[in-house]
Structure 1
Amino acid sequence: MKSTDKNKSFTLWPYAIIVAMVMFMSYIAMFVYKAMNQDVDLVSKDYYEQEIKYQDHINMVGRTKAAGDVAIAFHPEKQDIIIQLPDHFKGQSITGKINLFRPSDEELDQELPLQLGRDLSQLIETKELQQGRWKVRITFTVEQETYFAEQTIQVTKP
């Protein structure tokens, strides 16, 4: 009788290993299923158009640096912004716009026409602007070539 009891002994380890493997494979299968059904919008539908626009923007910035830096400065004592284009553009027809961009509140954004004086500078009053961080973006065209400059300023009130 002793010999038959030893043959009929029950051990739980093989079943525990099999159950653990099945549970692990089920977890991996569930993870793969969820990952495959997740909607990922990393690339927009008009990706190539956006890439061309971005390349145009890079070209504009490169042209601006090659022509000379556009100076954008905020003077807190006078409460104004001075924009100065390089002397390289003197005597040429210049058209463009100035965008005052407020990163924290898009409703405060402003767009102004570029109206340069004889010395290729423009003064912008900031008394109406709220205190804080602003990005001054200038886009202008000279003889069929478009240029772009951007400067971040901190508007402070006295």
Structure 2
Amino acid sequence: MKKINWGVGIVIAIACFMSFIIFLGVKMSTDKKFDHDLVTEEYYQQELAYQGELDAQQNSASLTKNIQVELSAEGIQIVFPSEKRNIEGEVNLYRPSNKKLDIEVPISLENQQMFIPSEKLVEGKYKLSINWKSNGTTYLYKKDLQIRN
């Protein structure tokens, strides 16, 4: 019986370590449990429009009375400023943990208010983004929400 010398032992250890690392890489890239999406599919186009987003946020911050968001067990109540008319736009609820739980709702107001029922929401963290326009001026309101059912 022949003994294994130091050189052969080091080569075997390196080969085992490399095999383990390759196995982990393949496992992580093919397992659905580790599937993470990009924040957005068209991130480059959104970066190009970032200055417009900053201007819209500044417009929203300069309002005397900004949007009010109230959470309740029934859902999310969004109250728009009463002095603004002809409001159009979109409400986005972005779920950082799962792209499939994102919600996009066009703004439809009744007495300057909009309601999103809790049946559409899953418990957890959402990033609320309201992109709206009134009389040619764009506004952007952002807020982090924690939904509890």
TM-score bracket relative to the smaller structure: 0.5 to 0.7
Computed over aligned residues only, the root mean square deviation of the Cα atoms, in angstroms, reads: 2.0
Determine if the alignment matches structure 1 residue 53 to structure 2 residue 46.
no
User: C-alpha distance in 2, partners of 1:152/1:128?
Assistant: 17
1:116 paired residue among 103, 109, 117: 109
Q: 2:96 aligns with which of 83, 103, 107?
A: 103
The TM-score with structure 1 as length reference comes to 0.61
Partner SS, residue 140 of structure 2: strand
Q: How does 1:63-142 map to 2 (within 5 A)?
A: 63-67=59-63, 68-75=65-72, 78-89=73-84, 92-118=85-111, 120-142=112-134
User: Cα deviations across residues 7-38 of structure 1 (Å, max 9, x unaligned)?
Assistant: xxxxxxxxxxxxxxxxxxxxxxxxxxxxxxxx
Larger Rg: 1
The residue number in structure 2 matching 1:6 is none
Within 1, Cα distance between the matches of 2:96 and 2:47?
23
Structure 1: which 5+ runs fail to align? 1-46
Structure 1 Cα separation of the partners of residues 103 and 130 of structure 2? 12
Give the count of matched residue pairs: 106
TM-score by length of 2: 0.65
Determine what percentage of the aligned residue pairs are the same residue: 27
Contact 1:73 1:83 in 2 (8 A): yes
C-alpha distance in 1, partners of 2:100/2:55?
29
